[in-house]
Structure formats: structure tokens, C-alpha cells
């Protein structure tokens, strides 16, 4: 049995600590709201002008290496829930909260390729802040993509609209593996720059950094693009386990370096996306994937920032995904939260797990299904409310805003 966090408290109250006008705990920067140009350049000067927390050197306590230095961030509901401490309300954020569901995102992205936009710090800052301003979520997630570090080490790839990452020359042989060199902070200096800006703008709101897990990255590299079956990747895993292990180990090193850059720049939590790990049987996951993911979690263990581990269709893998070293395990909508807690075992917080398609079903259905998630999570040691996978591009942005408000009011303690 898992211990109760702090009791579920009164369930229906009028407000919560972050409703407008009650706390100043949301980013107050409005500089980008309507005026930032598509290249984000106009925003830069404005950003500097409104950075209430910036010192003359541009350094802030949160921008110094490792750990969460800002007390307000440390005391946020999101980080408390990650640490399994009592919370004033259940924190909420959404995977893919920044993206095509937001008209303001579509506007600033007009004419700019996805990967290009990930390399422009001002634009990244603007896009990352958009859902925090609009929905009043409890955490921001750094706007980027899982293939950015691969692009940064010179892999020829692109993100094609409506398709996803496409790799020009797939990695299939030992000679191909040699193309995957180490990632240095200089390769991703735009990430350090953007996170510096973001931590200043976000104030007390935590910033989640992220990376793709070795298996999910390998699935794109070996297949050459998105796949339903992962036949080439799995053929390497089953047919040439040594090459596979070396590939995943290489990716673990690149991923670790990428997460360290984000933490040292000021990210206050990290999420490892192993989105496609659900394609694997537990024994294969344990033997051929878990060691590489564990290496990533080990590499960032010393920074004191919570580590979240997420995948889709991973009901059978939840225990192993916790074992890999995460502090928080992400759950999709296929397993109820109380059952997920049993599978993960004690000592970890859980994140999830509303089916993202519920948001198309109208307000009443959203509230009913969100209530089910909250009830199922009521006895968890720590719960972060999220969708079971990313926000879908056609989702009504207002439905997301209402959902945040619903979870906050329902769980106010």
C-alpha cells in the first residue's frame, strides 16, 4: 500500500493559490504577447527591458550550475509533487503544451522550420512561455525536439510537417555508428542562452528540460523516420546485440550531455521521453534498453533535480521504467493511476494520465474523465496531472485552460 500524500483535502473550493489576482506567481512578461516578430528578434530588446529579476551581468541564481537555486521554484507545487511532499493543489502541465493547439504558436512559427525555430533563443523563449501565460500551468517545458541534439552533432535530419523526424542516412552499421560524436555545450549554445532567458522570465514557475531516451532516438536513427513496427531497429536489437548495445550507449552519452547542459543552464526538472518503448516486451526492455536509460538517469542524479521517465503504451514496463532510476514515472491513459502506482511500487511520484482525445468530447466529458483521474490518483505519494500523451494539434486551447482551472479548484487544499 502506498502512503497518502497529505490527504485529498476539501474537494470543491472556489479558488486556488494561482488564480488571477491572488498570487503574483506567474510570468508577468507580456512583451511577446502580440509584438514579437516571427524571428523573435523584436522580442530580444523587449525581453531585456522587462526582466525584473535580471542582474546587470544577466546572471541569476537559477542560471548557475546544477540544482534548483531559486527558493520560489523549489517550493512550487510541481517540484513538491515530484518530491512527494504535500502540495497546495495538484500541479498540472501538458506534454506538447507549446505547439499547434495555440494560435499564437502558429503565428510566430509562420515561415520558420521546426528545427530552425529550436535554434533561436528568443523564439524558443516566447513559445515556451505561451502556454504558461494562457493556461496557467504549473510548469513550463523547454521548447525543442528530441532530435535537436542529433542535429547538433551533425546528423543530417529534418522534421517534416505532419510526418516527424526524417534521417537522411539511417544508422545501420558500425561505420554509421562512428558518425555519432560527443555533444559539447558549444554545440547547443542556443539552449543555454534560451534557458537563461526563460528562468528569468518564469520567476517562480519551474522549467522542465527534456531529451529523447536512447531507444526512441535509436528508433528514428535506425529506421530513418517514424515507424509503426520498428522492424529495422528491432532487427539490430535481436540480430546484432553488440552493435545495438554500443549504439544505445553512445546515445546515452549524448543524451546525458544534453540534459546536463539544460540543468546547468537552469532547468529545474528533466523528462526523458521514451515514447516508443511500449513496442518492447519487458524482458527485451530490461536486457537491451534499460541499461542505457539507467546510464542517463545516473549521469544527472547528482544535480538534485527530479527526473521524469515517460513512454506510451508502457503499462507492462512501468516497474522497469521506475527501476531505470526515475523519481517520477509518466503513465498513459491505458492504466489507471492507482494500478500504475502498484506496478511502479513505493518511492516514486506519478504523472498522468487523461486520454488526450477526451479534450474533443466537450466540457462535461472532460470534467468527468479528469475527475476519474484525480480519484484514481487520490492515494498516490505524489501526483502531477498531465495527459497520457501530448496535446493533439486540433485540440481547443480553451478546453486546456478550463482543464487546468478544474484540476486546481478540485484539488485546492
Q: How many CA atoms lie within 13 A of 192 on its CB side?
A: 16
**Nearest residue to 236 (alpha-carbon basis) of 296, 189, 170:** 170
**Nearest residue to 172 (alpha-carbon basis) of 222, 227, 207:** 222
Exactly one of 31, 141, 257, 335 binds ligand CP3 (CB under 6 A); that residue is 141
Rule CB under 6 A: say whether 299 interacts with ligand CP3: no
Catalytic residue among 138, 145, 187, 274: 145
| 141 vs 236 by CB, closer to ligand CP3 | 141
Has 230 been annotated as catalytic? Answer: no
Catalytic residue among 142, 220, 230, 285: 220
- Count residues near ligand CP3 (CB under 6 A): 22
| 135 vs 260 by CB, closer to ligand CP3 | 135
| 62 vs 275 by CB, closer to ligand CP3 | 275
Neighbour count for residue 28 (Cβ, 10 Å):
12
Q: What is the DSSP secondary structure assignment for residue 185, as one 8-state letter?
A: G
Question: Is the bond leading into 183 cis (omega within 30 degrees of zero)?
Answer: no
Rule CB under 6 A: say whether 95 interacts with ligand CP3: yes
Which residues 209-248 are close enough to bind ligand CP3 by CB under 6 A? 210, 216
Rule CB under 6 A: say whether 123 interacts with ligand CP3: no
Has 96 been annotated as catalytic? Answer: yes
Burial class (CB in 10 A: 0-12, 13-18, 19+), 379: middle
Q: Which residues pair with 272 in a beta bridge?
A: 211, 309
Has 46 been annotated as catalytic? Answer: no
Exactly one of 40, 99, 266, 322 binds ligand CP3 (CB under 6 A); that residue is 99
Q: What HEC string does 142-159 produce?
A: CCCCCCHHHHHCCCCEEE
- CB distance 293 to 213 below 8 Å: yes
Has 44 been annotated as catalytic? Answer: no
Has 100 been annotated as catalytic? Answer: yes
Q: Please give the residue whose beta carbon sits closest to ligand CP3 in the complex.
A: 275
Which residue ranges make up the site for ligand CP3 (CB under 6 A)? Answer: 95-100, 114, 141, 143, 145-146, 159, 161-165, 210, 216, 273, 275, 390
Q: Show which residues are catalytic.
A: 96, 100, 109, 145, 220
Amino acid at each position: 500500500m502506498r502512503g497518502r500524500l497529505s490527504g485529498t483535502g476539501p474537494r470543491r473550493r472556489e479558488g486556488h493559490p494561482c488564480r488571477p489576482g491572488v498570487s503574483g506567481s506567474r510570468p508577468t512578461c507580456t512583451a511577446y504577447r502580440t509584438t514579437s516578430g516571427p524571428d523573435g528578434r523584436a522580442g530580444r530588446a523587449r525581453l531585456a527591458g522587462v526582466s525584473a529579476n535580471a542582474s546587470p551581468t544577466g546572471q541569476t541564481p537559477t542560471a548557475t550550475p546544477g540544482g534548483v537555486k531559486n527558493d520560489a521554484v523549489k517550493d512550487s507545487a510541481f517540484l513538491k509533487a515530484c518530491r512527494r511532499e504535500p502540495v497546495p493543489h495538484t500541479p498540472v502541465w501538458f506534454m506538447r503544451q507549446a505547439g499547434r493547439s495555440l494560435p499564437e504558436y502558429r503565428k510566430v512559427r509562420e515561415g520558420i522550420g521546426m528545427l530552425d525555430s529550436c535554434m533561436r533563443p528568443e523564439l524558443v523563449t516566447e513559445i515556451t512561455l505561451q502556454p504558461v501565460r494562457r493556461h496557467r500551468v504549473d510548469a513550463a517545458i523547454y521548447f525543442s525536439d528530441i532530435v535537436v541534439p542529433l542535429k547538433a552533432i551533425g546528423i543530417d535530419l529534418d522534421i517534416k510537417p505532419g510526418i516527424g523526424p526524417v534521417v537522411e542516412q539511417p544508422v545501420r552499421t558500425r561505420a554509421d555508428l562512428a558518425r555519432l560524436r560527443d555533444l559539447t555545450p558549444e554545440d547547443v549554445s542556443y539552449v543555454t542562452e534560451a534557458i537563461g532567458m526563460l528562468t528569468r522570465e518564469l520567476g517562480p514557475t519551474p522549467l522542465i528540460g527534456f531529451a529523447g531516451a536512447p531507444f526512441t532516438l535509436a528508433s528514428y536513427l535506425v529506421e530513418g523516420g517514424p515507424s509503426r513496427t520498428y522492424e529495422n531497429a528491432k532487427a539490430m536489437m535481436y540480430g546484432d546485440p553488440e552493435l545495438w548495445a554500443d549504439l544505445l550507449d553512445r546515445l546515452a552519452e549524448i543524451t546525458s550531455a544534453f540534459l546536463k547542459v539544460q540543468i546547468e543552464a537552469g532547468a529545474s526538472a528533466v523528462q526523458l521521453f521514451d515514447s516508443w518503448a511500449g513496442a518492447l516486451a519487458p524482458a527485451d526492455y530490461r536486457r537491451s534498453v534499460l541499461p542505457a536509460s539507467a546510464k542517463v538517469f545516473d549521469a544527472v542524479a547528482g544535480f538534485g533535480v527530479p527526473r521524469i521517465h515517460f513512454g506510451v503504451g508502457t503499462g507492462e514496463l512501468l516497474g522497469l521504467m521506475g527501476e531505470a532510476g526515475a523519481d517520477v514515472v509518466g503513465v498513459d491513459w491505458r492504466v489507471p493511476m492507482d494500478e500504475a502506482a502498484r506496478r511502479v511500487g513505493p518511492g516514486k511520484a506519478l504523472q498522468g494520465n487523461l486520454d488526450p482525445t477526451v479534450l474533443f468530447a466537450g466540457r462535461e466529458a472532460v470534467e468527468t474523465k479528469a475527475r476519474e483521474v484525480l480519484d484514481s490518483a487520490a492515494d498516490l505519494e505524489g501526483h502531477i496531472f498531465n495527459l497520457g500523451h501530448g496535446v493533439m494539434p486540433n485540440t481547443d486551447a480553451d478546453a486546456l485552460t478550463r482543464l487546468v482551472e478544474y484540476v486546481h479548484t478540485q484539488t485546492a487544499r
